[in-house]
Structure 1
Amino acid sequence: MKLGAYTLGEELKSLGFNFYSGVPCSFLSDLINYAINESNFVMSANEGDAVATCAGAYLTGKKSVVLMQNSGLTNAISPLTSLNYTFKLPVLGFVSLRGEKGLCDEPQHELMGTITEKLLELMEIRWEYLSSDVSEMKEQLSRANDSINDKKNFFFIVKKATFNRVELIKRNKKENKNLLTIVKTKNDELPMRLDVLHTLNTLKDNNTILLATTGKSGRELFEIGDSKNNFYMVGSMGCISSIGLGLSLNTSKKVIAIDGDGALLMRMGSLAINGFYAPQNLLHILIDNNMHDSTGGQFTVSNNVDFVSIAKSCGYTNSIYVHDLKELEEQLKSWKKNSVLTFIYIKVKKGTKENLGRPNIKPFKIKDRLMEFIVED
């Protein structure tokens, strides 16, 4: 007996799960097809970014579903353990069981087939095998929903041939064009990152959310001026713009994702996904100091990368190189007046202030107050 993916999807919808992100797996193809056909689905470049995109959607009050192969579960460990767990940003997951014992499968799935359960348990994620019996499935979803309401992740492990077939509805391919590119034309001013963050914070208003990437960006922003519309990410390195994507697709507020060179290099596939979905209210700013500042100043390879051209080729509507704080302020004001998906790049000096502190607010409290801010008029 097989389970209707449409039946499962509609039951999920009745429980309020109306946002999906993930990476395809043949075992989950019918559920993914349902999500694409009937719900809001973001195709991600990797499983970790999919989890972060769902976390961003949850910040707006959306119950989210992430879909992945069990090999991709390893890619999602960082955000699941340091973002979702730490900030209490629950996600409902469906992970396939490739490499199940006794199943003829590809050799690369052999190990994951034996450790998928253990991996979920090590991450303190509640899980069950998804039943193909409709009545039992509904009971399982009720338990999963209780877990999400309790702000805890819940995953279903899905075996081969669980679902009835769902045909994917063909749609015209979406293509987003770059309309404005500004490249480097003069020497950089090289301000401190602290000065860039101060500029961003000064121009922030009650309709703007600032998302700061892992490390000293968030710590500096907190010291400059803490507020309820700031989010200081810890862990989950490289996921800040994916959080921004999930957030901006589900709110009318303006979202500024503050990235670092080391972080963006870690998950550059996010640029293509952002460019494809192209939310107009998302500004992605890269502050590049050519180093991993939080871990002792080790170098990154950002000096060898043309990020502005890459963002342009990925479909960002505007991709802009700014040379100094004055240009940055001008571009921020322009974006606030006429917001489109925009990438801004600025080089900064190495280093930070002495005795830099850390946010003294629990991460889940930062999340709670941001969610309250988002629903405010």
Structure 2
Amino acid sequence: MAGAAYRAGRGPRRRTARRGSHPVSTATALDARTLVDLLRTRAFGPFTGVPCSFLGPVISCLEAEYPREYLIAANEGEAVALAAGAHLAGRKPVVILQNSGLGNTVNPLTSLCHTLRLPVLLFVTWRGRPGHPDEPQHELMGRITTEMLTSMEIAHEVLPEDPAGLAERLGAAEAHMAATGLPYAFVVPKGAVAPYPTTPHTAPGPRPLRRAEAIGHIVDAMDPRSLVVATTGKTARELERDFDRPENLYVVGSMGCASSVALGVALHAPGRRVLALDGDGAALMRLEAMATIGRHANTDLCHVLLDNEAYESTGGQPTASAGVDFGAIATACGYRATADVADSAALTAAVRHAQDTGGAQLIRVRIAPGSDPGLG
């Protein structure tokens, strides 16, 4: 492997947790319920999209108070297409997305909504906003977010800070969409929406593995020379914190791409075992990757899917994984074998078996939601 592609380290080791981010002041933040009610008063809905922590409170409000009005989408392009269909059926849809997902929306926004004049209302968060420190994967997109919207001929403005201002600008957005047939976007900075109170739910029965525990069992069971590609978010952070090593690649950003990166490594690193640490939300966002992996079933790739049924990094909003049989999909795509595990012994056995027998194999690991608050 080219050493530059992997983060340097001094072998597997336990590391102390990162310092958590500072809380954001909500002195001028909009109440999530107020924002939702203002939209519903103007008959906007349904709502669809992929979560971002900046708009997590809005999604939590919708799930708690108007669950039939919120459609979970696997990626942002799908959300735009769902919204286009809702508009054709006479609704006034709203799409919620992180600006890192704008790239996924370019095709449906420019070739579907623009061509057929299908106006959808967008709420696009502004990660990486210039002058506001953020994680490195958001830096470039933060600089070009408004430029991208302008290039797609989507009128946009920063989300107003007060309900009266938002009510007025929603009217202007509605008038613009009616006159042009084009989408309109509100760009949402960090802290623009106040937290929405939620009650943690504890499922009955034995406690599932936590993600960090599962990662520990995987690292202990795998060939120590394995090249590991970890998906963005909490998975990469926990792997880096607890088991940083030169053979690890932490895919910050690029949600859904880790398994494809791992396949690319496996195809061109003969003699090395490759292990992809994936997540349910990430896998659903780029489900087509499983079809490509299946076409290369002789590749020595162990695809481990850590499934907590949630977008953990953005606040724990649900994914659609609860109703998805990833093993059946992998089998249909051509994977050599699959396993579905929920405890440490079964996980350890599955990783060892997959690497001993070789070929593309999927291991779905049922884990508990939640993570260390100090992880960052």
Structure 1 length-normalised TM: 0.46
